[in-house]
A and B are shown apart, each in its own frame.
Chain A
Amino acid sequence: MIHEHDALIVGAGGAGLWAALELAKAGVDAAVLTKLYPTRSHTGAAQGGVCAALGNQEEDHWEWHMFDTIKGGDYLVDQDAAEVLAREAIETVIELEHMGLPFNRTPDGKIDQRRFGGHTRNYGEGPVMRACFAADRTGHMILQTLYQQCVKLGVKFYDEYHVVDLITEGGELGDGGRCAGVVAYRIADGELVTLRSKAVMMATGGFGRMFRVTSNAWSLTGDGVALAYRHGVPAQDMEFYQFHPTGIVGIGILLSEAARGEGAYLLDNDGFRFMERYAPKLMELAPRDMVSRAITQEIRAGRGINGKDYVYLDVRHLGRKKIDEKLPDITDFVRVYQGLEPYTDPIPIQPTAHYAMGGIPTNLLAQVTRDASNTVVPGLYAAGETACVSVHGANRLGTNSLVDLLVFGRRAGRQMARDVKGVGMPNVADDVTEPIRAELDAIRGRVKGERKEAIRTELADVMMDDAGVYRDAVGLERARAKVAELRERYKNVSVDDKGTVFNTDLLEAREVGYLLDTAQTMVAAAINRKESRGAHSREDFPDRDDVNFLTHSLATQAADGGVDLAYKPVTITKFQPKPRIY
């Protein structure tokens, strides 16, 4: 079956939906493909807020926001991108309000704002109230609001279509070829559907499922990065993966930084606010990489609660009113998933794998680029967590991802609307689905092979233990060997479900393949980066090394199945790198 649209968007989270709205407003024939119903996207899980220097609560300026973003990202941020982010944050948040987003309000009826980690006044003087929020369900409200607008504008959706391949014209995407559409697997009946298009946008979210303990949904398996990578597009800055300090012990469900923004404490076994030892000025509101490392240090020093591998998040002193008004959802999570009462019990937490700073490289117009000189891949766009325009550098600040979706999702939509005008519909061969059909049939047809669950759990274990908060050469080499072994075993993967109707067994096997690709690039880039910067913390190279490593990594697939690494310069405009002290 062949469909045709001028523009296609893969993914219906915040980034994809905003792009779709722009295309709809421009009157472009566009469609969104999503493996989940749009409202199931993980943007809906975001809790704490979306930041913009509105200055509704106290003085604030986009230049301060830009600076915080760059410093938070340990100077690996492209500063032109950070400037776009900080400036356009303001108008996109206002636009969201106009679309109907029910923000909490200040006494004078404006959008309410609160503190968040790493966001400061006057270039680092102290915390500032910059995070706009709707209780602790800001992401839910963003996703709902954008979807509502899509309903209003009649956006075309292909719900529960799992995109399994990109179609190219005129060579591979890494060699000057153009993206000409996608192949999608219709989950309802297993049909492979070809969609031709002049412009394709990847907005598929992150890949936290690579790790054992994660805040990410089951569906976050790096599909976009892996699909582009398989066609020669590099994966940028993959070694930078953020662990959020406060996940529920064992299962990783997130307890938003909003808790600390509202004043919650982190306590060690003696009831001491241990951030005093690491970031005396910002305390609990230091950036996430630092807080996650601090927790890990405390645990290693035997100061975890009863010597175990967790510490406490304490909201008791905030009082019931504030807890109920500002943090209703996360306290509900504590009750349901830990059986504790946050009014009266401190909450056991540990770092949880949370956010991919790296991903598909793009320029400021959300066009995908393929090399160190930022050569554009025609017809391919990316935004959101799957992309790397590099606004987050080596470590993302809280609330900066949601802004990223809004600002660059909007830019992607507008750019696609401009670009599709000048080009014709690409040609697509009739047998373009054949390689994928063969691959899927092989998995289905194997009678006794490797179980995908075994591969996934072994991968998640090694990545957690050897490529997590702290890394070193020995652990990373272990991870490299393990990922290579798992990739071999994956060639023989099989599933129980041989059917065509709603075969989630088969699609999960496919997703494990995406995770293996993203893990392979992450480990390779991490081995090569012999310094510590942001979330990439090498115990064998504890210092930042601006002489050798103030540079973005680009990982591409090597002919032998390994990874080739190249590097590209960081764009520095206003702020020269300085030591990062809070």
Chain B
Amino acid sequence: MQIELRVLRYDPERDQQPHEATYTVEANPMDRVLDLLHKVKYEQDGTLTFRRSCAHGVCGSDAMLINGRNRLACKIRVDQLKGKRITVAPLPGLPVMKDLVVDMEGFFAKFRSVHPYLQPSGPVPERERLQSAKDRAKFDDTTKCILCAACTTSCPSFWAQPFYVGPAAIVNAHRFIFDSRDDAAEERLEILADRDGVWRCRTVFNCVEACPREIHITQAILEVSRAIVERHA
């Protein structure tokens, strides 16, 4: 089948403005959008620029806006998109470097700001720290994050207030706050209680829809918010 692929392109060395380019590609229904981008790059126009690496949804390189929704290009099939026209644009809300490549520095700075690393107190044991399966289950979901930025850049609160720490950073804070081996929840809750922290979430659920790892993001944000409130109570 033939697909009309419309890509929002921008090359700072050539273009004043982003502009749409249209390519016709021969596709098979099981192809992924990443396959189509490769076909364009390798058969029609090598200047088309995007990030990708693993090609199976685990590295987080190729999140982009596909038919109006943030997704990984390597994880969405042509037949799932239904229809012969597919539109592709860079993730919203981050500065575009070129075509589908956005500047991720700000996103990673927010990740770092929530102290996303285990901080246990007490002496280091000889063997592993024990943890029950039940305790581990409390944060299992939020360990799945691949930092692709699909959630944060789908969030209207983030578009409106770029200082908002955003769902991805909260998810990564959650991963440690609810880890029975960690003792620095307090410090992270303090950070997230800030006015650019969890309270900016308006439970729009865009993030949940965007997450390619199917993390229950609003649930995680809710649990963090509750922990903040309980802490002050």
Contact = CB atoms under 8 A, between A and B. Distances in A.
B53 A36 contact: yes
A433 interface: no
B1 interface: no
A424 interface: no
Contacts of B129: 97-98
A497 B97 contact: no
Contact of B144 (A109, A137, A500): A137
Contacts of A40: 51, 53-54, 59-61
21 contacts: A36-B61, A37-B104, A40-B51, A44-B54, A45-B54, A94-B127, A98-B125, A100-B118, A100-B182, A102-B140, A217-B54, A217-B59, A218-B53, A333-B56, A336-B57, A496-B45, A497-B49, A499-B13, A501-B12, A501-B98, A505-B49
A510 to B, nearest CB: 14
Contacts of A504: 49-51
A320 interface: no
B181 A497 contact: no
A495 B128 contact: no
A501 B77 CA distance: 29
Interface string A490-514: 0000011101111111000000000
B98 A337 contact: no
B77 to A, nearest CB: 7
Contacts of A104: 133, 136
Given A109-B132, A151-B116, 11 more contacts: A40-B51, A109-B130, A109-B133, A137-B58, A148-B117, A333-B57, A337-B56, A497-B46, A499-B11, A501-B13, A502-B98
Nearest to A509: B46
Nearest to B14: A499
B200 interface: no
B146 A109 contact: no
Contacts of B118: 99-100, 148
A54 to B, nearest CB: 8
Contacts of A338: 30
Contact of B46 (A37, A99, A110, A495): A495
Contacts of A333: 56-57
Interface residues of A, number: 54
A36 B147 CA distance: 13
B109 to A, nearest CB: 11
Given A40-B60, A44-B59, A152-B117, A102 B143 contact: yes
A107 B134 CA distance: 10
Given A39-B60, A151-B117, A217-B54, A102 B136 contact: yes
Interface string A522-561: 0000000000000000000000000000000000000000
B131 A105 contact: yes
Contacts of A39: 59-60, 146-147
B11 A100 contact: no
B116 A140 contact: no
Nearest to B112: A151
Contact of B116 (A42, A105, A109, A148): A148
A111 interface: yes
A500 B13 contact: yes
B42 interface: yes
A299 interface: no
Nearest to B143: A102
B47 A497 contact: yes
Contacts of A336: 57, 75, 77
B52 interface: yes
A329 B182 CA distance: 26
A339 B28 CA distance: 13
Interface centre among A41, A110, A149, A218 (most CB of B within 10 A): A218
A331 B130 CA distance: 29
B158 interface: no
A246 B129 CA distance: 34
B130 A108 contact: yes
A333 B60 CA distance: 15
Interface centre among A100, A104, A495, A496 (most CB of B within 10 A): A100
